[in-house]
Structure 1
Amino acid sequence: MKELLNLITPEEALKLLKSNFNVSLKATEIELSQAFGKILAEPVKALENIPPFSRSTVDGYAVFAQDTFGATETFPVLLKLRGEIGMGEVPEFTLGPGEAVRIFTGGALPEGADSVVMVEHTELFDSETVSVLKPVAPGENVIAAGEDFKEGEVVLEKGTRIRPQELGVLAALGYSRVTVYNSLKVGIISTGDELVPVETKLKPGQIRDTNAYLLVGRILDLGMQPVYFGIVPDRFEELIKAIQAALLETDIVLLSGGTSMGVKDMVVDAINSLGAPGVLFHGLAIKPGKPTIGGGINGKPILGLPGHPASALMVFERIGVPFLRYLSGLKSSYQPRVKATLTINLPSKTGQEDLYRVMLTQKEQGYLATPILGKSGLINTLTRADGYVIVPLDIEGLHAGEEVEVILF
């Protein structure tokens, strides 16, 4: 059996991939209503001050703050009422010294007012006078014009994924259309004579194509477009045809299976035969997922993942997800994570990064991370895991009671 190439770390693998492949997606202008989950292809600036006017954050009375200084329940300050500002009205007067005007949450402040006294800190003295029982500071209970966003300010950077929060901001800024990157198309090819479609009744020696659906789901979860090219038997010519078809239609190709160095494992030869740069690495200092392949053909990247589902998932999470985020145009490849306390010891050997799937349990003192142990060929461990813990390659394990960082699925 051939030896794997020199093992490299996951970080080195990501650096290699990013240095060889750039973001080259086309951009499209779309309706704001269709923009959820998309990635901005250009920065978004505020076209005007938001809010465009100073507005109240409470129901009460707009005042000049200095007029309220010293007010108490025992010795209230009396201010002359100037009527009421209705919602949506633009005040056409200037508030004078010693005056107040009734205002509601979201209402526009008149000139001369710099704060709002909450209604519960006031009493009507008579129909023309209000008693202020508590002083306010300048700017209190007010959002000033442009305090949220100033005209010309970059509000959302290029490479930002549009979540509900960003949709709301874009709407507030008046953008009915935005320019976004086209969704990354990810080709998926499953390899192996033992694989059969999911609807097949299994015969001895057969297994259903689990990895394809695992990858499809994760790619959809990332907001990308999976394209499944089916199962390819262990025949070189068939593999070549499938890779060529996937390269024509997608931006990156994921191969599942055929990455270790058995007699019929021919992925390396196939990649090298189709174009430059060919295989960039074959073998990661990682467990599970050691026989992973990374390379490219004529400007398009290819990742070869192990055939065992748990191994395939873990390698994809460790290097596939951040690399796909990079290719999609995202400004950050950060993945959500939480701090948790480890419940048992996790052994490891130096020179190899270990990935342990964990289940999270919330307690009063925080999260507990319980490792889900099992062989890489088992799939029952996948649904019980909430995330995974990385044991760095330069230490010999982690201890029970130690605080760890759990990267969430």
Structure 2
Amino acid sequence: MKFFKVKTVEETFTLIEEMIPGIREMETRPLEDALHCILAEPVVAHENVPAFDRSTVDGYAVYAKDTYGSTESMPGFLTAAGEVNMGEEASRAVARGEAIYVPTGGMLPPGSDSVLMIEHCEEIGGLLNTYKQIAPGENVIRAGEDIRAGELLLEAGIRLRPQELGALAALGITHVRVYREIVAAYLSTGDEIVPYETERLEAGQVRDINYLTVSGLAQEWGIKVIYGGITADDYEGFSSRARELFEQSDLLILSGGSSVGAKDYTTEVIQSLGDPGVFVHGISIKPGKPTILAVAGGKPVIGLPGHPASAMIIFRLFGERVARKLKGEILKSKPERIYARMAKNIASAPGRADYIRVSLSEKGGEWWADPIIGKSGLITTLVKSDGIVEILSEKEGVLQGDYVPVILSK
């Protein structure tokens, strides 16, 4: 057979990076509407943040050397020479032997190089008793220490998280250029599949839950999803509906029909959509081996297994990276993961990467991963899981107590 030449997980990640194009259409959005968008142009800071030297604590601005030798039993003494009001410029300089009160975030007066926390001093009748010595620069943020004018703050291709939006707001930037929102179309295939709203199932029928799980993930990633319904195992009807959805979207997702059965037309349908076509048909992974990845006419197409757990795991592992690359994001790492200790022995076949659903619990200050055993078709294994343990293809399993990478559910 021409297709179903199995790739490793690592090969698949590499092919996604090489084969999936990124969109180039841009739009301008206000910051409050840019969360999780992909930055289309680099941002260079035009000013310092902070714009002035400022205190990080409530305390007294001093010349650090004036506090040397101060202890609780033998305090030093400085003259309390005033205060800086929040939001006002500190115009009066601190002379040697003086201290000026500064609130948290207040401007550091000229002549001072540090701030003595209010907990470590006491003002009595205009005299400040100092009970601790501090070093130059202590409890102070210098102008430009956070962001310096002229530096590259954000490069194009990064996803705008809350912290990036905060950094942009700190510079007074109100709008950003981002890549436009992408649209995915989803189509389920199979004679046995019926709408999930179906109240009474006939013998052999299965509700279409993959639409909700897969489209739910896509929406979490900031993708609009068109539901294309369900098509039977008929080539003409399947091909016609797939092409219609393909033309309406930036990404086509097909669920079911990705294996090598006599009525599995997914590969043929995808090949008919355009060149270069399928670049992955089969991944050395459990669950989810019969997975299809393709590019047709510059648009990615994903063929997912029909089993709910398999479809969701595969889409979480590979669909997200396809979507992120398509959205114009720079891919710098694999899916987010932590390391946990395995609560039980798990066997694995060498030469194939296994992904095991696990629940996480904290014991003795460490994370422990407890396998949730169940067949790949069981959606409840995903409901109960906090993540997926990755057992690499060169390993024959893991032992209880071993540290393992866990891809976190989002």
Per the TM superposition, whether the score is higher than 0.5 is yes
SS of structure 2 residue aligned to 1:381? helix
Instruction: Check 1:259–1:96 CA distance in 2 against 1; reply closer, same or farther (3 A cut).
Output: same
Check conservation: 1:85, 1:91, Cα contact below 8 A. Answer: yes
Q: How big is the shift at 1:247?
A: 2.0
Q: Return 201-210 or 331-340, whichever deviates more.
A: 331-340
SS of structure 2 residue aligned to 1:58? coil
Match of 2:375 in 1: 375
Q: Distance in 2 between matches of 1:361 and 1:3?
A: 45
SS of structure 2 residue aligned to 1:312? helix
Instruction: Check 1:378–1:119 CA distance in 2 against 1; reply closer, same or farther (3 A cut).
Output: closer
Match of 1:189 in 2: 187
SS of structure 2 residue aligned to 1:109? coil
Q: Distance in 1 between matches of 2:304 and 2:190?
A: 13
Q: For residues 24-173 of structure 1, what are the structure 2 equivalents within 5 Å?
A: 24-127=23-126, 129-173=127-171
Q: How big is the shift at 1:4?
A: 5.4
Check conservation: 1:255, 1:304, Cα contact below 8 A. Answer: yes
SS of structure 2 residue aligned to 1:91? coil
Q: For residues 217-366 of structure 1, what are the structure 2 equivalents within 5 Å?
A: 217-331=216-330, 332-366=332-366
Q: Distance in 2 between matches of 1:79 and 1:323?
A: 63
- Equivalent AA in structure 2 for residue 37 of structure 1: H
Check conservation: 1:84, 1:102, Cα contact below 8 A. Answer: yes
Q: How big is the shift at 1:108?
A: 0.7
Q: Return 88-97 or 299-308, whichever deviates more.
A: 88-97
SS of structure 1 residue aligned to 2:310? helix
Query: Alpha-carbon deviations, 1:123-153, whole Å to 9, x = none?
Result: 33433x3232322211111111111111112
Runs of 5+ unmatched residues, structure 2: none
Q: Distance in 2 between matches of 1:91 and 1:177?
A: 32
Q: Return 182-191 or 210-219, whichever deviates more.
A: 182-191
Q: Distance in 1 between matches of 2:336 and 2:18?
A: 25
Q: Return 305-314 or 162-171, whichever deviates more.
A: 162-171
Q: Distance in 2 between matches of 1:148 and 1:403?
A: 36
Q: Distance in 1 between matches of 2:75 and 2:292?
A: 77
Q: Distance in 2 between matches of 1:202 and 1:93?
A: 81
Percent of residue pairs identical: 45
Q: How big is the shift at 1:97?
A: 2.1
Check conservation: 1:3, 1:261, Cα contact below 8 A. Answer: no
Q: Distance in 1 between matches of 2:192 and 2:403?
A: 42
Check conservation: 1:25, 1:184, Cα contact below 8 A. Answer: no
Per the normalisation by structure 2, the TM-score is 0.94
Runs of 5+ unmatched residues, structure 1: none
- Equivalent AA in structure 1 for residue 153 of structure 2: V
Q: Distance in 2 between matches of 1:188 and 1:80?
A: 73
Check conservation: 1:341, 1:369, Cα contact below 8 A. Answer: yes
Q: Distance in 2 between matches of 1:284 and 1:334?
A: 16
Q: Distance in 2 between matches of 1:3 and 1:274?
A: 18
Are 2:389 and 1:389 equivalent residues in the alignment?
A: yes
Instruction: Check 1:20–1:102 CA distance in 2 against 1; reply closer, same or farther (3 A cut).
Output: closer
Check conservation: 2:43, 2:152, Cα contact below 8 A. Answer: yes
Q: Return 390-399 or 74-83, whichever deviates more.
A: 74-83
Q: Return 265-274 or 161-170, whichever deviates more.
A: 161-170
Q: Distance in 1 between matches of 2:397 and 2:123?
A: 70
Check conservation: 1:322, 1:333, Cα contact below 8 A. Answer: no
Q: Distance in 1 between matches of 2:367 and 2:177?
A: 40
Instruction: Check 1:75–1:260 CA distance in 2 against 1; reply closer, same or farther (3 A cut).
Output: closer
SS of structure 2 residue aligned to 1:362? strand
Q: How big is the shift at 1:3?
A: 8.2
Match of 1:408 in 2: 408
Q: Distance in 2 between matches of 1:281 and 1:88?
A: 59
Q: Distance in 2 between matches of 1:251 and 1:333?
A: 23
Check conservation: 1:214, 1:313, Cα contact below 8 A. Answer: yes
- Equivalent AA in structure 2 for residue 191 of structure 1: T
Query: Alpha-carbon deviations, 1:180-229, whole Å to 9, x = none?
Result: 22223222111111111111121112111111111011111222222221
Q: How big is the shift at 1:155?
A: 2.1
Query: Alpha-carbon deviations, 1:262-314, whole Å to 9, x = none?
Result: 22111111122232112223222122112111212111111111111111112
Q: How big is the shift at 1:68?
A: 2.2
Check conservation: 1:325, 1:333, Cα contact below 8 A. Answer: no
Q: For residues 15-26 of structure 1, what are the structure 2 equivalents within 5 Å?
A: 15-26=14-25
Per the normalisation by structure 1, the TM-score is 0.94
SS of structure 1 residue aligned to 2:383? coil
SS of structure 1 residue aligned to 2:52? coil
Q: Name the Cα RMSD after superposition.
A: 1.9
Q: For residues 5-24 of structure 1, what are the structure 2 equivalents within 5 Å?
A: 5-24=4-23
SS of structure 1 residue aligned to 2:279? strand
Instruction: Check 1:145–1:270 CA distance in 2 against 1; reply closer, same or farther (3 A cut).
Output: same
Q: Distance in 2 between matches of 1:379 and 1:115?
A: 59
- Equivalent AA in structure 1 for residue 190 of structure 2: G
- Equivalent AA in structure 1 for residue 137 of structure 2: G
Instruction: Check 1:360–1:133 CA distance in 2 against 1; reply closer, same or farther (3 A cut).
Output: closer
Q: Distance in 1 between matches of 2:84 and 2:113?
A: 15
Check conservation: 1:351, 1:394, Cα contact below 8 A. Answer: yes
